[in-house]
Chains A and B, each alone.
Chain A
Amino acid sequence: MPVEAFVLPKSELGSFVAKLKADYEVFGPVAKGPKFVFGPVEKAEDMRLDYDTTILPPKKYFHQPEQDLMNFSGVADVAEGKKPVGKRVLFGVHPCDVNGLLSLDKVFLGSYPDPYYKELRDKTAVIALNCVKPCEYGFCASFNTGPEADVGFDLSLTDIGDKFVVVIGSARGKEMAAGLAPAAEEDLVAGKRALRACQHDMTRRIDVGGDLGEFLHQNFDHPVWMEEKEKCLACGSCTAVCPTCYCFAVKDMVDLSLQKGGRTRMWDSCMFYEFSRVALDHIFMPDRTARLKQRMYHKLTYYQQQFNATGCVGCGRCVATCVKHIDPVDVINRIQENPLPAKEVTLYRPPVKIVHTEVNPWEPQKAVIKAIKKQTADVNTYTFEFVDPQVRDSYTYDNGVFNLISIFGIGESAISISSCADENTGTFDHTVRAVGNVTKALAKMQVGDVVGIRGPYGFGWPMEEMKGKNVLLVAGGIGLAPLRGVIKSIQKNRDQFGNFEILYGSRTPDGMLFTDEYEEWRKIPNTRLYLTVDYVPPGVEWGHNIGVVTTLFDKMTSRKENTIMITCGPDIMMKFVVLDLLKRGWSPEQLYVSLERRMSCGIKKCGNCQMGPVFVCQDGPVFKYADIMNLPGGVF
């Protein structure tokens, strides 16, 4: 089908925009000092269609710097925080930014579609403006994201001197173009030539002559990264101005009544030290080099691996905004001049799971605390039941997955489920240590109090894989909580599994969870429970092992043949559990680990849980070690 094309003489731009104004709010590039920004447009003359680039990309109109998710008044009254928007037109969007929006679509409209983004996207028409002149820092030709937009617009314009060639991209675009004269053959030719000339003039390019992802993985430890780290100010400007960066933090804010308030998401940045911070101020990415690489790799390869979309559209804003002129093109060129020796690499491919929900994935369901059981001085097991009978009856989960527990006015916290997936009781348990704002607030609650819960999220333990095999369960501290369901499932369906051994370590005897259930677990046929602690305080009786959990490996009867090992505990414990078993000849294929990271969404959007190319919330939290052992930055 030939393209449907029209012409818009520049002399008629004013009336064209005036006509749009009748139906739409119009936004376009306007001058701000010596730079440009997207802003409201009253008339065509306000716009500077000769602009090179804007300070912030048009993502600010869709994934807004601050977006209200929920409004609440106490726990009882919770409402969606959507703000009504009218129909809008974004006029003069360069092809890089058009492609940036298409990449954001993959994140926000794929699995668990985001209603706030969707609303803004649906209501906004995009009029692209193809580039007839290269901008100073752009390198869009590297990714085929410029100088011409081929999809993702309602109309696209190409400047051919005294007029624009107008190409229709959608039914909405066709309506907007009503009344324009059809383009003549020579107009189309002029447009093509202008774009070809621009492409020719683009000198900045990333071209590694092969797969960029593989190239980057091979050069993960290249000395160039240390040089860049010395320069990088960790200011996060690059991520704020990036048209495809989408990471955000979620925060609850209340007024002085302390009851009324809102839950808001706001742009965050992997360049920030606090990005991966969890309770007790543990930081998963404290090293600036790791953060710098996380950003660059996310743009240049992880995005592609995760969403099958371009992570970098070559707009050049990160270069233009960097006080230290850190430039992906320059970095890649310098690596290319002196690359590390090529080696075989496997790029991580996440498990494919697309969840389409009819309801707002941000909306927690009310759940009432049915029982509270004290486990240790600071750990309780809470039994929850959804208030809405329909939600209660339809709620199912797998062993090892998690929910987000939400206390309005304080926040949300990702907590694994500690009850058994095979026990259909209409209730479920969370075993929670009071360490952060949400968990401490939960510890103050009573039976009958109501919290918000959304989930379950992620992949749990490989129950199917374990059937017919021996199971070795290794847990440390609070890490026993997500494994308790497995123990109960094996107990319930004992004949489906082989030899079963539980190794559980804790810092001190009084830190052990579920102590009143050990007798019952020991009674499960063909099952052994080994306990160990790091330290026994004076005056405490302890008849079991002393030492880290791996010291139990010499005592256990489990052998590597036909066995699955599942482990959860602090990272440092799992690291040595895995190392020790690998040394004993176990295969990475039979080791499963459950990881913890900061999570603000649980639905692969906030980016806080990223570990290299992996999103722990949806690709995990339970991983087969073989799948992640080759991550460029390592696992533990």
Chain B
Amino acid sequence: MAKPKIAFFKFSSCAGCQLSVLNIEPVLLDVLGAIDIRYFVMAKRENHEGPYDIGFVEGAVTSPKELLELKKIREECSVLVAMGTCACFGGLPSIKNYSGFSQKELEEKVYTELWDLKSFPAYGIDYYVKVDYYLRGCAIDLGELVTLIKSALKGIHPRFRFHSVCNECKMKENVCLFLTKGKPCMGSVTAAGCGALCPSLNRPCEGCRGPASDCNAASLARSFVEDLGLSKADVVRKFRKYAGNTPEFSKGAEAV
């Protein structure tokens, strides 16, 4: 079997997910032996035109230029993967969508040279094109990345299961941050796959992997207010931080 041709692309994001890809040291050489990276501007000097077998897209789409590029990428890639929460849901760039400012005001707040700037609200790439697989997280989980690559090589669906982070946290027998320390942990409504990374390090889950399947964000939002005494604004900020564009987390932001 010929090695699949892989490409990595970046839109509005911090480039952290791409950087993580380079951090899979224990299996990096095996992975490089199995795939042919044709386009990866961060990591390679020589990059090649499409078509590609798999395209990994990092970042949210927030300008007409990016949108045109995304549509071209979709045409060039047989399989398109949204890599990281920005590409999946809009991520941190999407905070602006709920900031209360108009797009023009936002542009003026951030940039001084406005003559060539055109922007619109930030969305995940599946707002515009069909996405085949999602690698969630800020940054992505490398185990999931490798699983996805292996699945692609085998020609099967990776069947990620986006149940709650709580489950992984329980497996590690972490002391519950919400119940024991009163910290506003979002693990109960956030999709697992990170191995409960933050709660295991004594930090509450920030919800970076987006909503767990059929989660009940409204109920957790009510608990944030009633049990932990968070303000309404705090609750809104929590649910609008990484995946505020999703209907599930919107319910959390709108519940209080």
Contacts and interface: CB of A to CB of B under 8 A. Distances in A.
B150 A258 contact: yes
B154 interface: yes
Contacts, number: 118
B176 interface: yes
Task: Output the residue of A33, A286, A288 with the most chain B CB within 10 A.
Answer: A33
Interface stretch (B46-54, B89-97, B162-170): B162-170
Interface string B114-156: 0000000000000000000000000000000011001001111
Given A233-B188, A258-B154, A288 B214 contact: yes
B175 interface: yes
A288 B164 CA distance: 14
A258 B35 CA distance: 13
Given A267-B171, A323-B178, A410 B215 contact: no
A236 B163 contact: yes
B34 interface: yes
Interface residues of A, number: 43
B212 interface: yes
Nearest to A229: B216
B213 interface: yes
A274 B191 CA distance: 12
B201 interface: no
A236 B168 CA distance: 10
A517 to B, nearest CB: 32
Contacts of B212: 234-235
Contacts of B178: 323
A232 interface: yes
B217 to A, nearest CB: 9
Interface in A224-279: 230-237, 240-241, 249, 253-256, 258, 267, 269, 272-274
B189 A235 contact: yes
B102 interface: no
A256 B34 contact: yes
Contact of A240 (B30, B153, B170, B175): B170
A412 to B, nearest CB: 13
A233 B219 contact: yes
Nearest to A231: B219
Given A256-B27, A269-B163, A274-B163, A234 B214 contact: yes
A409 interface: yes
B223 interface: yes
Nearest to A232: B216
Contacts of B156: 410, 437, 440-441
B45 interface: no
A321 interface: yes
Contacts of A10: none
A240 B165 CA distance: 12
B180 interface: yes
B166 A236 contact: yes
B170 A234 contact: no
A410 B173 contact: no
B166 A237 contact: yes
B244 interface: no
A617 to B, nearest CB: 20
Contacts of A324: 219, 223
Contact of B170 (A56, A258, A440): A56
Contacts of B187: 235
Task: Output the residue of A232, A253, A323, A410 with the most chain B CB within 10 A.
Answer: A323
A323 B188 contact: yes
A341 to B, nearest CB: 30
Given A35-B180, A241-B170, A410-B154, A235 B161 contact: no
A378 to B, nearest CB: 16
A2 interface: no
B214 A273 contact: yes
A409 B33 CA distance: 20
Contacts of B179: 320-321, 323
A11 B34 CA distance: 62
Contacts of A237: 164, 166-167, 170, 188
A55 B170 contact: yes
Nearest to A54: B173
Interface string B61-91: 0000000000000000000000000000000
B188 A269 contact: no
A451 to B, nearest CB: 15
B163 A288 contact: no
B163 A273 contact: yes
A120 to B, nearest CB: 17
A571 to B, nearest CB: 20
A173 interface: no
A128 to B, nearest CB: 21
A234 B31 contact: no
A84 interface: no
Contacts of B34: 256
Contacts of A55: 170, 173-175
Given A55-B173, A233-B188, A323-B179, A240 B214 contact: no
Contacts of B150: 254, 256, 258
B3 interface: no
B208 to A, nearest CB: 17
A2 to B, nearest CB: 40
B213 A35 contact: no
B189 A34 contact: no
B220 interface: yes
A126 interface: no
A441 B151 CA distance: 12
A33 B171 CA distance: 16
A200 interface: no
Nearest to A409: B154
Contacts of A256: 27, 30-31, 33-34, 146, 150
B203 interface: no
B178 to A, nearest CB: 5
A235 B164 contact: yes
Interface string A434-467: 0011001100100000000000000000000000
Given A234-B216, A321-B176, A437-B159, 5 more contacts: A233-B216, A234-B212, A258-B153, A274-B213, A436-B157
14 contacts: A33-B180, A55-B174, A56-B170, A230-B219, A233-B164, A234-B214, A237-B188, A256-B27, A258-B153, A269-B163, A272-B161, A273-B163, A274-B162, A323-B179
Q: Which 6 A-B pairs have the closest CB atoms?
A: A273-B213, A240-B170, A235-B164, A235-B188, A235-B166, A273-B214
Interface of A: 32-35, 37, 54-56, 65, 230-237, 240-241, 249, 253-256, 258, 267, 269, 272-274, 286, 288, 320-321, 323-324, 409-410, 436-437, 440-441, 444
